[in-house]
Amino acid sequence: MSDDEDKLLRLLVGKYIKKGNP
């Protein structure tokens, strides 16, 4: 996995977590 992909994945996960825990 490339660095860019890792950053994108973390961004998506962060958004998902924020949605679950406002």
What confidence tens digit (pLDDT) does each residue in 7-16 have? 999 999 999 8
Instruction: Output the 3-class SS for 1-22.
Output: CCHHHHHHHHHHHHHHHHHHCC
% residues pLDDT > 70 (the chain):
86
0.75 surpassed by pTM: no
What does the buried/exposed string (b/e) look like for 1-22 if buried means 16 or more CB atoms within 10 Å of the residue's CB? eeeeeeeeeeeeeeeeeeeeee
Find the Cα–Cα–Cα–Cα dihedral 10, 15, 17, 22, rounded to 10°: 150
